[in-house]
Amino acid sequence: GAGVSQSPSNKVTEKGKDVELRCDPISGHTALYWYRQSLGQGLEFLIYFQGNSAPDKSGLPSDRFSAERTGGSVSTLTIQRTQQEDSAVYLCASSPGDRGLKQDFGPGTRLTVT
Protein backbone atom coordinates (compact mmCIF):
# COMPACT_ATOMS: atom_id res chain seq x y z
CA GLY A 1 0.00 0.00 0.00
CA ALA A 2 0.93 3.65 -0.14
CA GLY A 3 3.49 4.87 2.36
CA VAL A 4 3.86 8.25 4.00
CA SER A 5 4.13 11.01 1.42
CA GLN A 6 5.43 14.53 1.84
CA SER A 7 5.32 17.60 -0.35
CA PRO A 8 7.11 19.43 -1.67
CA SER A 9 10.22 17.25 -1.87
CA ASN A 10 12.38 20.37 -2.09
CA LYS A 11 11.67 23.96 -1.14
CA VAL A 12 13.93 26.97 -1.56
CA THR A 13 12.71 30.15 0.08
CA GLU A 14 14.03 33.57 0.93
CA LYS A 15 14.75 34.51 4.50
CA GLY A 16 11.70 36.05 6.11
CA LYS A 17 9.13 34.20 3.99
CA ASP A 18 6.60 31.73 5.39
CA VAL A 19 6.57 28.09 4.24
CA GLU A 20 4.11 25.23 4.57
CA LEU A 21 5.17 21.59 4.49
CA ARG A 22 2.63 18.84 3.98
CA CYS A 23 2.46 15.27 5.21
CA ASP A 24 0.03 12.57 4.11
CA PRO A 25 0.25 9.67 6.57
CA ILE A 26 -0.53 6.03 5.91
CA SER A 27 -4.27 5.53 5.82
CA GLY A 28 -5.59 4.46 9.21
CA HIS A 29 -2.55 5.61 11.17
CA THR A 30 -3.79 7.71 14.06
CA ALA A 31 -0.43 9.05 15.23
CA LEU A 32 1.66 11.46 13.18
CA TYR A 33 5.13 12.84 14.00
CA TRP A 34 7.32 15.63 12.67
CA TYR A 35 11.13 15.48 12.95
CA ARG A 36 13.89 17.74 11.67
CA GLN A 37 17.24 16.52 10.38
CA SER A 38 20.05 19.02 9.98
CA LEU A 39 22.98 18.19 7.70
CA GLY A 40 24.97 15.27 9.07
CA GLN A 41 22.86 15.03 12.19
CA GLY A 42 20.31 12.67 13.64
CA LEU A 43 16.62 13.37 13.73
CA GLU A 44 15.25 15.92 16.18
CA PHE A 45 11.67 15.53 17.40
CA LEU A 46 9.40 18.51 16.79
CA ILE A 47 5.78 17.56 17.51
CA TYR A 48 3.38 14.64 17.37
CA PHE A 49 -0.35 14.27 16.89
CA GLN A 50 -2.73 11.65 18.21
CA GLY A 51 -5.76 12.17 16.02
CA ASN A 52 -6.10 15.93 15.58
CA SER A 53 -4.65 16.90 18.94
CA ALA A 54 -0.98 17.47 19.74
CA PRO A 55 -0.11 16.05 23.18
CA ASP A 56 3.57 16.89 22.81
CA LYS A 57 4.80 20.09 21.16
CA SER A 58 7.97 20.19 23.21
CA GLY A 59 10.32 19.97 20.25
CA LEU A 60 9.14 23.03 18.35
CA PRO A 61 12.21 25.33 18.30
CA SER A 62 10.34 28.64 18.51
CA ASP A 63 6.92 30.23 18.17
CA ARG A 64 7.63 30.64 14.45
CA PHE A 65 6.91 26.92 14.11
CA SER A 66 3.38 25.54 14.22
CA ALA A 67 1.59 22.46 12.99
CA GLU A 68 -1.95 21.31 12.56
CA ARG A 69 -3.72 18.15 11.57
CA THR A 70 -7.22 17.95 10.19
CA GLY A 71 -9.59 15.04 9.80
CA GLY A 72 -7.12 12.78 11.57
CA SER A 73 -5.15 12.60 8.35
CA VAL A 74 -3.12 15.29 6.57
CA SER A 75 -0.79 17.49 8.61
CA THR A 76 0.82 20.81 7.76
CA LEU A 77 3.97 22.17 9.39
CA THR A 78 4.23 25.94 9.03
CA ILE A 79 7.38 27.97 9.55
CA GLN A 80 6.86 31.72 9.68
CA ARG A 81 9.52 34.32 8.93
CA THR A 82 12.04 31.66 7.97
CA GLN A 83 15.66 31.98 9.06
CA GLN A 84 18.76 30.39 7.55
CA GLU A 85 19.09 28.08 10.55
CA ASP A 86 15.72 26.57 9.60
CA SER A 87 17.39 24.92 6.60
CA ALA A 88 17.10 21.16 7.12
CA VAL A 89 15.21 18.09 6.00
CA TYR A 90 11.80 17.88 7.63
CA LEU A 91 10.61 14.31 8.05
CA CYS A 92 7.13 13.09 8.82
CA ALA A 93 6.25 9.68 10.25
CA SER A 94 3.02 7.93 11.13
CA SER A 95 2.13 4.95 13.25
CA PRO A 96 -0.99 2.97 14.16
CA GLY A 97 -1.04 4.86 17.45
CA ASP A 98 -1.41 1.95 19.79
CA ARG A 99 2.24 1.16 19.33
CA GLY A 100 4.33 4.21 18.58
CA LEU A 101 7.28 2.01 17.79
CA LYS A 102 6.22 1.19 14.26
CA GLN A 103 6.78 4.65 12.84
CA ASP A 104 6.91 4.68 9.06
CA PHE A 105 8.82 7.65 7.69
CA GLY A 106 8.20 9.70 4.58
CA PRO A 107 11.03 10.79 2.25
CA GLY A 108 11.20 14.25 3.78
CA THR A 109 11.09 17.83 2.53
CA ARG A 110 14.46 19.49 2.04
CA LEU A 111 14.10 23.16 3.01
CA THR A 112 16.74 25.67 2.01
CA VAL A 113 16.47 29.23 3.29
CA THR A 114 18.61 31.69 1.33
Partner 1 sequence: GQQLNQSPQSMFIQEGEDVSMNCTSSSIFNTWLWYKQDPGEGPVLLIALYKAGELTSNGRLTAQFGITRKDSFLNISASIPSDVGIYFCAGQRGNQGAQKLVFGQGTRLTINP
* Contact with partner 1 (CB under 8 A) among 11, 13, 22, 50: 50
Query: Interacting stretch for partner 1, rule CB under 8 A, among 12-20, 62-70, 73-81, 99-107?
Result: 99-107
Q: Is residue 82 close enough to count as binding partner 1 by CB under 8 A? A: no
CA-to-CA separations, 54 to 39, 58, 60, 72, 91, in angstroms, rounded: 27, 10, 12, 11, 17
Cα separation, 34 vs 94, in Å, equals: 9
Q: Is residue 13 close enough to count as binding partner 1 by CB under 8 A? A: no
* Selection from 14, 7, 2 nearest residue 92 by Cα: 7
Cα separation, 46 vs 89, in Å, equals: 12
Q: Which is nearer to partner 1, 18 or 56 (CB)?
A: 56
User: From residue 24 to residue 43, what is the string marking binding to partner 1 with x (rule CB under 8 A)?
Assistant: ------xx-x-x----xxxx
Cα separation, 4 vs 71, in Å, equals: 16
| Residues at the interface with partner 1 (CB under 8 A) | 4, 30-31, 33, 35, 40-45, 48, 50, 55-56, 59, 91, 93, 95, 97-103, 105-108
